[in-house]
């Protein structure tokens, strides 16, 4: 087992951190994949994600599920949490926010495969679910259902 002295330098891990003012200011940390060469899936669920409507400025809420098969690196979870939290003051349509998160992770982390599901709660009567992935999952990768039911309202 690796000790803290073996942990790569990160901006947030083991340090006091403040919530970034915007996604652009958020620094995502990546560390070496501890199981390099092994095909496996990592899942992050953010059931209380928020951003702002670019038209009204009102909050939009979503349950995000991010699945990825690591390549050389993995994303450090505290930095991801702060990155996702930085959207609280960010205006963006559901499609832009969901796909933008996936594309930033894909560009910086270079996973073998990544997908993101954005399950947005309705405001104005229409739920919007947004899905994006880098391509077909690698052969042999176990990819479970994201486990978020489509919005059914009160009925």
Mind telling me the catalytic residues? 53, 60
CA distance 6 to 113: 27
Helix or strand run (H / E) with residue 97: helix 94-109
Among residues 117, 121, 127, 98, the alpha carbon closest in space to that of 44 is found at 117
CA distance 54 to 84: 17
């Amino acid at each position: 087992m690796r000790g803290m002295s073996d942990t790569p330098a990160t901006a947030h891990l083991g340090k006091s951190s403040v919530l970034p003012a915007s996604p652009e200011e958020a620094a995502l940390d990546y560390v070496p994949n501890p199981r390099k060469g092994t095909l496996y899936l990592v899942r992050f669920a953010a059931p209380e994600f928020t951003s702002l409507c670019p038209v009204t400025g009102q909050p939009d809420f979503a349950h995000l599920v991010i699945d990825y098969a690591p390549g050389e690196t993995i994303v450090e979870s505290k930095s991801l949490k702060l990155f996702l939290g930085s959207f609280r003051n960010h205006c963006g349509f559901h499609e832009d926010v969901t796909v933008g998160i996936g594309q930033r992770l894909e560009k910086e982390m270079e996973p073998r495969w990544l997908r993101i599901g954005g399950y947005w709660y309705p405001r104005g009567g229409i739920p919007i679910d947004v899905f994006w992935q880098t391509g077909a999952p690698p052969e042999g990768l176990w990819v479970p259902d994201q486990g978020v039911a489509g919005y059914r309202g009160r009925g």
